[in-house]
Amino acid sequence: DRMAGDGLRFTQFYNTARCCPTRASLLTGLYSHQAGVGHMVEDLGTPAYQGELNRSSVTIAEVLRTAGYRTYMAGKYHVTPGRPPERMKEHNQNWPRRRGFDRFYGTIHGSGSFWDPSALVRDDQFISSANDPEYQPAEYYYTDAIGDHAVRFVREHARDHREQPFFLYVAYTAAHWPMHAREGDIARHQGRYAAGYAAVRAARWEKQKRLGVAREEWGLPPAAEDFAAVKDPAFEARCMEVYAAMIEVMDQGIGRLVDELKAQG
């Protein structure tokens, strides 16, 4: 909300309905098929569906480095297959540091445990939440780790490279499945969704109109499902509580990052 209030709120946008193609477009400025990630990160046998960034595209990090920028990334990459560690040297040509980023902390593939994410990499080396000598919080949680490393990159840039501009790409995994959140974070949302889909939908529609991102005359299409007819409403409400907790922790991380940017001037 603070970023929206101080910056821009987009009332029109486009996404590709999947994570990998959307990320490929964000990183390259191209349609995802032009970048080689038309579907997911498997090779389907044609250039548009090769399943990883092609070399006829350039990332924003590659471009900005030519203008003297330092470039950093924290979070989910997912525009190249997450290959096993033993084949890393053979198949890491599209990893972040090969595509313009000076520093990287995050996951190469798309999803996994928030407590112990697989395909976790620091720069070019596979690590794990347990064996990482540089980051050992009291409790590891991937969303916090992404936010903490984003803050770290800003702080270290200000210390070591303040004379250079920088670009930081922070790609949170939340709230991708699996639904993982701390019990204490979930508890703050207890009962929030008990009224069901229609009530939540109506409240969000009113807020969108109040914010000016939607117009009354657009109306709403029919609801996809009746909450009163679901088999296990308590489970459905619990899922949304966990989802909300995941988003809240992400929001806190973004807040810490904004605060660090301001602290560093």
The pLDDT tens digits for 105-153 are 999 988 899 999 988 999 999 999 999 999 999 999 999 999 999 999 9
Active-site residue, 239 included: no
Q: Which two tokens stand for residue 200?
A: 């939540």
Average predicted confidence (pLDDT) for the chain: 93
Q: What is the pLDDT of residues 232-252, one digit of tens each?
A: 999 999 999 999 999 999 999
Annotation says 19 is catalytic: yes
CA–CA dist 87, 80 (Å, integer)? 14
125 phi and psi angles, rounded to 5 deg: -115, 130
Q: Which of 85-89, 100-104, 251-255 has the lowest mean pLDDT?
A: 85-89
DSSP 134: T
Q: Could you tell me where the DSSP H helices lie in 89-232? A: 142-160, 183-187, 197-211
Q: How far apart are CA 40 and CA 23, in angstroms?
A: 11
Average pLDDT over residues 208-221: 92
Residue from 20, 78, 157, 189 carrying the catalytic annotation: 78
pLDDT band for position 179 (cuts 50, 70, 90): very high
Interstrand relation of 166-171 and 125-126 (parallel, antiparallel or unpaired): unpaired
Where is 257: in which H helix or E strand?
Answer: helix 233-263
pTM: 0.93
- List b or e across 18-27, with b for residues whose CB sees 16 or more CB atoms inside 10 angstroms: bbbbbbbbbb
Is a pLDDT exceeding 80 seen at residue 41?
yes
What strands, in cross-sheet order, belong to the sheet with 70-76? Answer: 125-126, 120-122, 103-107, 70-76, 166-171
Residue 85, pLDDT above cutoff 60? no
Whole-angstrom Cα Rg for the chain: 20
Cβ pair 146, 106 in contact under 8 A = yes
Asked whether 52 and 81 are in contact (CB, 8 A), the reply is: yes
